Amino acid sequence: MISLTTFQVNDTEYTIDLSRPLDISIPLKSGAENPNAWYIGDPKIEPVELGDWIGSVKKGASTNFNNIVFNPHAHGTHTECVGHITKEFYSINECLKTFFFTAELISIRPVKQEEDFVITKQQLKEKLLRKPEAIVIRTLPNTSDKLIKKYSNTNPPYLEEEAAIYLKNLGIKHLLIDQPSVDKEEDGGALVSHNAFWNTNEKIRFDATITEFIYVPNHIEDGLYVLNLQIASFVNDASPSKPVLYKIN
């Protein structure tokens, strides 16, 4: 069994223990016990019904055979590519080519600006101590209701445009946050932080991703990690995902 593994990034070696993963994804369940955003109903996981046959062992079938109906953007942890905001179709399955990255986890308490709570460029400059490939943002307060919170019409915290530009200019490729979006809930479709991070007005960063709706438990300390960013092979702008952190020895 492989346990300790060494990674080399820019002439620096990192050793991690693969037997000690720190999962920062939110499991997708059927029904209301999920986070939810963007004004749609709950996800459903239900047995297929074909005439009198029901795909449930409890109801007499030989197998459990379920349909799953959900929206990756609304119902939990997901990773998206620039195809989320472009007229042209781009798939996360095509854009995300590698899956292990150096990542810095930082905790930030969004600041109030008029009626909003935002993460600012200055906060990132103060908290981000390195230039990793990925940044993981845990917002404070960090309570377990993030696992089931209904975000529609609540104006959640988001990333100001200057903060997204700052991360792009640092060369950070993968942005992970525990909110439903890096942008304001109602912004007239501007999506300024999405556009800034992916650099859509100039040379698009096709290999950059945004992961939203993560949850980082409080026992995981801020610092440098190796991130394994796992997605399903969906030919879509976004996929449900399972980001996993590994503490660096």
Domains of the chain, CATH where assigned:
4-27+73-247 (3.50.30.50)
What is d(CA 32, CA 246) in angstroms, rounded to the nearest whole number?
Answer: 30
141-149: long-range contacts, CB 8 A cutoff, minimum separation 24? 141/109, 142/107, 142/178, 142/216, 142/218, 146/26, 146/35, 146/178, 146/215, 147/26, 147/34, 147/35, 147/215, 148/32, 148/33, 148/34, 148/35, 149/35, 149/36
The residue-averaged pLDDT of 19-37 equals 97
What pLDDT score does 4 carry? Answer: 82
pLDDT digits (tens, 9 = 90+) for 210-222: 999 999 999 999 9
pLDDT digits (tens, 9 = 90+) for 149-208: 999 999 999 999 999 999 999 999 999 999 999 999 999 999 999 999 999 999 999 999
183 contact partners, CB below 8 Å, separation of at least 6: 158, 159, 190, 191, 192, 193, 194
Q: How confident is the model at residue 60 (pLDDT cuts 50, 70, 90)?
A: very high
Tokens (6 digits) for 22? 């720190």
Decide if pLDDT at 12 tops 90.
no
Whole-model pTM: value is: 0.96
DSSP-derived secondary structure letter, 57 = G
Contact 241, 211 (CB under 8 A): yes
Q: Write b or e for each residue in 190-227: b if 16 or more Cβ atoms lie within 10 A of its Cβ, otherwise e.
A: ebbbbbbbbbeeeebbbebbbbbbbbbeeebeeeebbb
